[in-house]
Structure 1
Amino acid sequence: MGTPTDASRARPGRKSPRIDPPAPISVGFVLVPDFPLMAYSAAVEPMRAANTLSGCTLYEWWHAAPDGGTVRASNGIEILTDVDVGSAKRGTDRIFVCAGGNPASFVDPALFAWLRALAHGGATIGGISGGPYLLARAGLLDGRRCTLHWEHVPAFEENFPGIDVVRSLFEVEKKRVTCSGGIAALDMMLHLIERDHGPGLAAGVSDWFLHNQMREGLSPQRMDLRMRFGVRDPRVLRVLAAMENNLETPLSKDVLAGLANVSTRQLERLFRDLMDRSLHRHYLDLRLDRAHQLRRESALPAAEIAAATGFLNSDELTRAERRRRDFGAEA
């Protein structure tokens, strides 16, 4: 026999006690031109689903953009904003800045001041994909831990060495929430829905979107190396990981061979057979890709970019880039 409900305990002829739904949580989205639509959708749609599944308005949301009006996503779709940057938006609980493209080049003192004012008013401030870059520019991540999309991490670390960057899906630290973007925004929102309204509703929303595993915030952003390169040989995997972790001071072939516990000749043969490219070519491309990211997303001088990617000077970096451009990635 089940536990008596409030209705069964009520006296005959009396109505069951009315349970009012909680006040809606107000969420703002600041969309920067060329924002990633997938990350934005993965953040807003779980709130819609939570409202639908619960049968009441648990969340309300609004949109703003630096220039107001409509703001275009990276795929060309436009969102109509309904709040002006700088307006006194009282009662907002959370604000998420969603940015993509090249957030390092975005500077908007008026927007940054508004975000600081909202934070001072008690709102939780969040960043999605490249959004944490803008929060750092606004001084809202000082002394805090954050995450952002892996593509933006190298330039971010160069520009904000005092901020602790974690390569996770999302980070929730008191009044700051940062997310690496993509479908990780769904995992972040499921975490917040669980915190707001319990695990049952969060699981229901996850199931609604055919998302059969709610990932923890500290889950890795990127695919496992085995999946990314289609390689299962543990010797090559150790070398690949070492290369990615040592771009500023490249490891010698002898050191890499030692990590694989093979000779340099055998390691070269493994790379040719399993990666279809030379050991040197793969390592060089990793460094050149990092240099390209830093050049695009930071204001570092050429000499510092060269030093950060293991080149003796900017001239050596330029020559390596020219050779790749002129002769192709496998030159």
Structure 2
Amino acid sequence: MSEPEQRPKPYVFLLLEQFTLLAFASALEPLRLANWIAKSPLYQWQVVAGDGAPVPCSAGMAIQPDGGLEDLPREATVIVVGGVDVKRAVTKPVLTWLRRESRKGVTVGAICTGAQALAMAGLLEGRRATIHWDNRDSFAEEFPEIELTQNVFVIDGNRLTASGGTTPSDLMLRLIARDHGTPLANAVADQMIHTSIRSERDAQRMSIPTRIGVRHPKLASVIEKMEQNIEEPVSPSVLASDVGMSTRQLERLFRRYLNRSPKRYYMELRLNRARNLLLQTDMSVINVALACGFASPSHFSKCYRAQFGNTPYRERGTQAENA
């Protein structure tokens, strides 16, 4: 007696306005290639949008969805595809639909900034998750109950999150391997010329030496400590002592490789974090200042204006005008 034919596993991609095209393609193509290599419809997919209308991506072009927010079978997997200005793109109908489908037992995932939608719907409480590193600070401030990682993707039960860019391909390859075996996943990766499949343990960002273009272990160690201590900055003398240097030696090290003092570099890190929080959250300017290590709002405003040519209050106002 022949085995019953396996039904294709359904995926539903929910596109939010200004979604990232690269992340969407990175999630979809592994499914298509799996079908092609297996010469069997292992997967099927559809694209949906909140109102069923064409959805513009952040590159300007629009995708015509297959439909709107309809009832899904329990075996479906929903993938929310986010991008730029994600909070504005998440509507009440989207949140209602995500909550309804998750109650039915549908697996719900998100790529790039799509995790914001899942969090707003309350679907990541008490879960591990990830989001694009550029949105990590604001997300952590807004949803402290979520265990946010810096990994490329996270699978926590029936919740899936991938950080964006090309990382959705790694998530999908992991799911293909789970569904149909590692050889098929490897064959898909080979077709994609994806020479190294990242695991859930891999971090999103390049190493500090790669990012700054300098391979100096003590410099990298100091910068790592700066990045980990934004709210309560560490003094240059402590930073220097931790890597076995004098403050003067640390000063020369930064001047030589980064053309700025340790204090200036640290200040830039804090101000960039502040700008992200101002543009991506509803935190008050005072709370942003405190979160970035500034005890005085007036000092924060002065430093911010010197760095960006605008005050924090005007930055927030400009954001509202562009909304």
Q: CA deviation at 1:105?
A: 3.8
Q: Deviations over 1:100-135 (max 9, x none)?
A: 112234441211111111111121000111011110
Report % sequence identity: 37
CA distance in 2, matches of 1:106, 1:304: 25
Q: Which residue of 1 aligns with 2:282?
A: 299
Matches within 5 A, 1:316-331: 316-326=299-309
Q: CA deviation at 1:77?
A: 2.1
3-state SS in 2 of match to 1:38: helix
Q: Which residue of 2 aligns with 1:213?
A: 196
Residue range with higher mean Cα deviation, 312-321 or 31-40 = 312-321
> Does residue 69 in structure 1 map to residue 62 in structure 2?
no
**Which of 17, 22, 35 is residue 6 of structure 2 equivalent to?**
22
3-state SS in 1 of match to 2:240: helix
**Which of 23, 26, 38 is residue 39 of structure 1 equivalent to?**
23
Q: CA deviation at 1:257?
A: 0.8
Name the CA shift for 1:45/1:107 in 2 (closer, same or farther; >3 Å): closer
CA distance in 2, matches of 1:276, 1:63: 48
Q: Deviations over 1:143-196 (max 9, x none)?
A: 111111111110111111111101101111111001101111010000000001
CA distance in 2, matches of 1:146, 1:21: 35
* Contact 1:102–1:296 (CA under 8 A) maintained in structure 2: no
Q: Which residue of 1 aligns with 2:218?
A: 235
Q: CA RMSD in A?
A: 1.5
Q: Which residue of 2 aligns with 1:245?
A: 228
* Contact 2:23–2:112 (CA under 8 A) maintained in structure 1: yes
Q: Deviations over 1:49-87 (max 9, x none)?
A: 0000000111111111123211011001211111212x2
Q: Deviations over 1:228-261 (max 9, x none)?
A: 1111111111101001000000110111111221
Q: Deviations over 1:25-56 (max 9, x none)?
A: 00000110110100000000000000000001
CA distance in 2, matches of 1:154, 1:31: 23
Residue range with higher mean Cα deviation, 270-279 or 36-45 = 270-279
Q: Which residue of 1 aligns with 2:64?
A: 80
**Which of 181, 186, 191 is residue 164 of structure 2 equivalent to?**
181
CA distance in 2, matches of 1:108, 1:116: 13
Q: CA deviation at 1:326?
A: 4.4
- Taking structure 1 as the reference length, the TM-score comes to 0.90
Residue range with higher mean Cα deviation, 219-228 or 69-78 = 69-78
* Contact 2:21–2:57 (CA under 8 A) maintained in structure 1: yes
* Contact 2:47–2:66 (CA under 8 A) maintained in structure 1: yes
Q: CA deviation at 1:325?
A: 2.9
3-state SS in 2 of match to 1:277: coil
CA distance in 2, matches of 1:209, 1:308: 42
Residue range with higher mean Cα deviation, 306-315 or 128-137 = 306-315
Q: CA deviation at 1:140?
A: 0.5
CA distance in 1, matches of 2:131, 2:27: 15
**Which of 236, 243, 268 is residue 260 of structure 1 equivalent to?**
243
**Which of 179, 190, 203 is residue 196 of structure 1 equivalent to?**
179
**Which of 246, 254, 271 is residue 254 of structure 2 equivalent to?**
271
- Taking structure 2 as the reference length, the TM-score comes to 0.93
Residue range with higher mean Cα deviation, 313-322 or 299-308 = 313-322
Q: 2:172 corresponds to which letter in structure 1?
A: M
Which sections of structure 2, spanning at least 5 residues, go unmatched? 311-323
Q: 1:169 corresponds to which letter in structure 2?
A: V
Query: Larger Cα Rg: Structure 1 or Structure 2?
Result: 1
Q: 1:223 corresponds to which letter in structure 2?
A: M
CA distance in 1, matches of 2:5, 2:257: 58
**Which of 104, 119, 128 is residue 136 of structure 1 equivalent to?**
119
> Does residue 161 in structure 1 map to residue 141 in structure 2?
no
CA distance in 2, matches of 1:191, 1:308: 36
Residue range with higher mean Cα deviation, 270-279 or 193-202 = 270-279
CA distance in 2, matches of 1:277, 1:255: 18
